[in-house]
Amino acid sequence: MAIITVENLVKKFDNLTAVNNISFEVEEGTIFGFLGPNGAGKTTTINILCTLLSPTSGRTFIAGHDCMKEPAEVRKSIGIVFQDTTLDKDLTAYENLIFHAYLYNVPKNERQERVYDVLRFVDLFDRKNDLVKKFSGGMKRRLEVARGLIHRPSVLFLDEPTLGLDPQSRANLWEFIKELPEKHHVTIFMTTHYMEEAEVCDRIAIIDNGKIIAMGSPAELKMTVGGDIVYIRTTDNVKTQEEIKRLFGFDVSEKGEELYMTCLMGDTCIPEMIRTIGEGVLSVRLQRPTLNDVFLKLTGKAIREEEASEGDNVKEHVRAYRRRQ
Amino acid sequence: MEFNAIYVIVAREFKKFIRERSRLISTIARPLLWLFIVGTGMSRLVSPDTGVPYIQFIFPGILGMTILFSSIFSSISIIWDKEFGFMKEILVAPVSRFSIVIGKALSGTVVSTIQAVIILALFPFIGFKLGILQIIWVILISAALSFCLSAFGIVLATFYESYESFSVIMNFIIMPMFFLSGAMYPIKLLPDILNLISKINPLTYGIDAMKHVLFQFKTGTMSPDFLFIIDIAVIIGTSVLFVIVAGKLFERKK
């Protein structure tokens, strides 16, 4: 059953189209990833789903409720971890969570227990009486995930949950996120521009310039790249290049001292190639396609190249737009 | 009405207020400076036969000032909450915008009334003899005025996205409101244009109501400017107006 439905969603800020006619569905109990570079329209889409923004056109439903017509119902069924922290740093971890429990009308006799439960889940129970300003980035993010679960939402939104965290905290956070659908009966809707992190998703939509350019499971998407990439270095690259082309029919290119080509089953291809070329082989390596390659293939650019430039421009534009309103 | 939400918004503000000693000290220090330094200095200039010693005359004004600063500061914290993201946590919750505004206005009411009571406790030092009924009235008026100005502060806060705008609010709104409120001089002595501006300032009516309670005389230069019932009606009326406007401003999505 689809728990999130988005139909022909469009959002314009003046002459900038942040979201350009996207449609998709998210199945209950899955992890759905929304991938794309900064400024692609991910946060705008989340803000519309969270009822913080009105769309220019199109419709969105969460757990059967229309985000425009029944915002209160939608808000009850969602939890959100925003890109920038939304904790009150001058309150303790416990106070931040109990604030949330009151705000979401958690029954009086359950408030404390639920807060304790989620604190234990993210390993912060021992720190419950510490002020949040003393927490590290990773701890704050975990606390926010915990907070988002207190009112038992059907959907938990995670907007760039690992942004700004060190690799260890990132790995640690993913351990918690992976367990969420099963342990807390919640559907995860996450955005990220770290392609490798999207591997945990059951389904992924890749968005660029406000449009969804591909959708599927990580494995399906990687198949579209056309298989593995084999790199080979030999004593005579020119001769090898010709030989491989002639015998295997691969399109071989040269990059630095290496030759590389795409083949469907790289691991079985390599032994054959070595047998054919014989003595001249110096090194061989195999690269499995990553989601980054998928993005590269679809858009002709790597996802991080334009991170700073274009993405920030869009953010500036949206800020300026809001100030004028 | 979402009482849980309103309660917790007020509880948060109260907790932070108690924790931030420096904020409490600085908001208490300002009225003390005005009362004892400016008040004492000005007493030498003001003729003693106006019916009331100058330091007593400005006492309602100083109470009004305490409430003005504390209420606006409390509401302006919304800008901080926006800047640091906490506002989003409140805005995505299943809570009506009105409850948020009421909660924020009551937060300001609680902290401002506490500060006003602290200043009020100084009355014996400046020669006042107040009965219990007078004290209760002043506290009630303080609470009503605090709510009104906190709601006004929320309206202000919805127009600003970052705290850089703070000095603008300070210099162009708070200070003129204070100077044109009858706190330091009776508004009946002001030229027409300034007198008119004073009359659209809700703080004027709050201070005027306190003058009614604190001063025994009803005529003369230093006497109250409006009827007590009008003072109260204006405070309540503008409170309702500000809450409605703030609620509407909070509602709009961009």
Over its length of 254 residues, how does chain B's per-residue pLDDT go in tens digits?
789 999 999 999 999 998 888 878 887 898 999 999 998 888 888 776 667 888 899 999 999 999 999 999 899 888 888 888 899 899 899 999 999 999 999 999 999 999 999 999 999 998 888 999 999 999 999 999 999 999 999 999 988 877 777 788 888 999 999 999 999 999 988 999 999 999 999 999 999 999 999 997 777 778 888 999 999 999 999 999 999 999 998 876 55
Residue among A147, A103, A130 at smallest CA distance from B10? A103
Predicted confidence at residue A309, as pLDDT, reads 47
Task: Kindly state the average pLDDT of the residues A288-313.
Answer: 68
Predicted confidence at residue B46, as pLDDT, reads 79
Q: How many cross-chain Cβ pairs, A to B, lie less than 8 Å apart?
A: 77
Predicted confidence at residue A306, as pLDDT, reads 47
When comparing pLDDT for A324 and A278, which is higher?
Answer: A278
Question: Mean pLDDT: which of A84-88, A262-266, B140-144 is highest?
Answer: B140-144
Q: How far is the alpha carbon of A29 from chain B, nearest alpha carbon, in Å?
A: 22
Q: Is A76's pLDDT higher than 50?
A: yes
End-to-end CA distance of chain A: 39
pLDDT grade, residue A323 (50/70/90)?
A: low
Predicted confidence at residue B24, as pLDDT, reads 82
Question: What is the pairing mode between strands A31-35 and A57-62?
Answer: unpaired
Which amino acid, residue B36?
A: F
Indicate the residue of B85, B161, B253 with minimum beta-carbon distance to A86.
B85
pLDDT grade, residue A317 (50/70/90)?
A: low
Q: How far is the alpha carbon of B177 from chain A, nearest alpha carbon, in Å?
A: 26
Q: Which chain B residues contact residue A50 at CB under 8 A? A: 92
Indicate the residue of B85, B93, B95 with minimum beta-carbon distance to A85.
B85
Give the list of residues 6+ apart from residue B121 with CB closer than 8 angstroms, or none: none
Predicted confidence at residue A106, as pLDDT, reads 94
Give the list of residues 6+ apart from residue A45 with CB closer than 8 angstroms, or none: A6, A9, A11, A19, A22, A34, A207
Predicted confidence at residue A255, as pLDDT, reads 80
The reply to whether B84 touches chain A by the CB within 8 Å rule is yes
3 state SS of A59: strand
Q: Is A308's pLDDT higher than 50?
A: no
Q: Which two tokens stand for residue A17?
A: 């189209």
Q: Is A74's pLDDT higher than 90?
A: yes
Taking an 8 Å cut-off on Cβ atoms, the answer to whether B94 and A104 are in contact is yes
Task: Report the alpha-carbon angle A121-A126-A127, nearest 5.
Answer: 100
Q: Which domains are delineated in chain A?
A: 2-77+153-222 (3.40.50.300), 227-288 (3.30.70.260)
Taking an 8 Å cut-off on Cβ atoms, the answer to whether B86 and A323 are in contact is no
Task: Kindly state the average pLDDT of the residues A47-75.
Answer: 92
* Closest chain A residue by Cα to residue B86: A86
pLDDT grade, residue A264 (50/70/90)?
A: confident
Question: What is the pairing mode between strands A2-13 and A16-27?
Answer: antiparallel
Q: Which chain A residues contact residue B88 at CB under 8 A? A: 52, 80, 82, 86
Q: Is A310's pLDDT higher than 60?
A: no
Give the list of residues 6+ apart from residue B64 with CB closer than 8 angstroms, or none: B145, B178, B181, B183, B203, B206, B207, B210
Q: Which helix (H) or strand (E) holds B139?
A: helix B132-158
Interface test with B, best of A65, A74, A83, A102 (most B CBs within 10 A): A102
The reply to whether A134 touches chain B by the CB within 8 Å rule is no
C-alpha to C-alpha distances, A245 to A239, A248, B98, B169, nearest whole angstrom: 10, 6, 72, 74
3 state SS of A10: strand
Taking an 8 Å cut-off on Cβ atoms, the answer to whether B92 and A102 are in contact is no
Question: E-assigned strands of B18-160?
Answer: none
Beta bridge mates, A6: A24, A60
Predicted confidence at residue B168, as pLDDT, reads 85
Which amino acid, residue B56?
A: Q
Structural domain that includes position B103: 3-251
CB contacts under 8 A, B 104-163 vs A, are: 161
Predicted confidence at residue A18, as pLDDT, reads 92
Unique residue bearing structure tokens 């303790």:
A92
The reply to whether B249 touches chain A by the CB within 8 Å rule is no
Q: Which helix (H) or strand (E) holds A78?
A: strand A78-81
3 state SS of B187: helix
**Is residue A181 within 8 Å of residue A29, measured between CB atoms?**
yes
Report the domain count for chain B.
1
Averaged confidence pLDDT in chain A: 87
Q: What is the pLDDT of residues A122-170, one digit of tens each?
A: 999 999 999 999 999 999 999 999 999 999 999 999 998 888 788 888 8
